[in-house]
Amino acid sequence: MLVQANAGLRLSARDLYEAGNRLDAAGDWIGAQQKYDQARLIHAGVPGLAPAIKRVQEKLRVAGTKAFNQARQYEANGRTADAVKEYEKAYQWLPADEANREVARTRVDQLKRRD
């Protein structure tokens, strides 16, 4: 029974990994990351899972940095609503240890208070 249970867990993790791959291909990197994290919790040994996690984290970091820079430009040009949207994206996409993530959250709060 234990062998069957382990096989079932591996299959579930593989299914989540494949769902993550589909989301990644569709550009839903947050969704992909969630599926990959779920798969890792069930069975970290799914072939290709570790590189997939790294790949989607890098895509999110790049997109978050781009959104942060775009927000700065919008803010400098007085386009507050657009800046807020981009700062929110940056906050969502940047990793927790990225300094600009907290800056983005702070700027959203400050800009929303102004309006």
Cβ proximity of 79 and 48 under 8 Å: no
Is the per-residue pLDDT at 44 higher than 70? yes
In the prediction, which pLDDT does 8 show? 75
33: left (phi over 0), alpha (psi -120 to 50) or beta: alpha
Question: Residue range 87-115: average pLDDT?
Answer: 94
In the prediction, which pLDDT does 76 show? 96
pTM for the whole structure: 0.85
Rounded Cα distance, 83 and 101, in Å: 14
Residues 6+ apart with CB under 8 A from 53: 33, 36, 37, 40
Rounded Cα distance, 32 and 47, in Å: 16
In the prediction, which pLDDT does 115 show? 63
Domains of the chain in start order, with CATH, are 1-47 (no CATH), 54-115 (1.20.58)
Encoded tokens for 15: 């299914």
